[in-house]
Amino acid sequence: MKLNNALTNSDVIIIYPNTMKEALPNALIICEGFIDRLFQAKSKNIKIKINTDLKLVECNDSGIKNYLHLILKTKKLNLFYTQFIALLHKNNNFINNATLKCYKVGKPINFTVCESNAFPDFSWEIT
């Protein structure tokens, strides 16, 4: 199954929003890894908090926490953040209650992202 405006990653298809202007291949690869970990997470309510000064990642899922810590250490957090936000379907350009729309094995799956703090020290809740 292949859709226009979509990024495929094995069984997962990420649906691009109409507002997305461009996608950087390196950034998309990082986002794919993050989205894979969202699918693997045991909790359906992921809480993430980043502190760039302390190089600290807080998350209630160890796989996501380790992945984000790696992104932070390799100084690709800005690249990841910018691209991930671009993948979200937003209401009125706000990140609160924005949706990451995917298909996994032909079944639609959406993740809702609520941002309480913005980049660089961002906090997200993903359900």
**Exposure pattern of 9-34 as b/e (b: 16+ CB <10 Å)?**
beebbbbbeeeeeeeeeebbebbbeb
pLDDT at 4: 42
Beta bridge partners of 44: none
Contact 88, 96 (CB under 8 A): no
pLDDT given for residue 59 in this prediction: 98
Q: Domain for residue 115, yes or no?
A: yes
Domain annotation covers residue 84: yes
Tell me the residue range of the domain where 60 lies.
6-126
- The verdict on residue 85 lying in a domain is yes
DSSP structural state of residue 42: S
φ, ψ for residue 13 (rounded to 5)? -120, 125
pLDDT at 5: 52
Pairing of strands 123-126, 107-117: antiparallel
- Asked if residue 25 belongs to a domain, the reply is yes
CA dist., res. 124 & res. 109, Å (int):
18
User: Considering the domain boundaries, does residue 116 fall inside one?
Assistant: yes
Number of domains in the chain: 1
Question: Does 1 fall in a domain?
Answer: no
Query: Considering the domain boundaries, does residue 71 fall inside one?
Result: yes
Nearest one of 93, 94, 98, 92 to 113, comparing CA atoms: 98
pLDDT tens for the 127 residues of the chain, in order: 333 455 555 578 999 998 888 889 999 999 999 999 999 999 999 999 999 999 999 999 999 999 999 999 999 999 999 999 999 999 876 678 999 999 988 899 999 999 999 999 999 999 9
φ and ψ of 37, to 5 deg: -70, -30
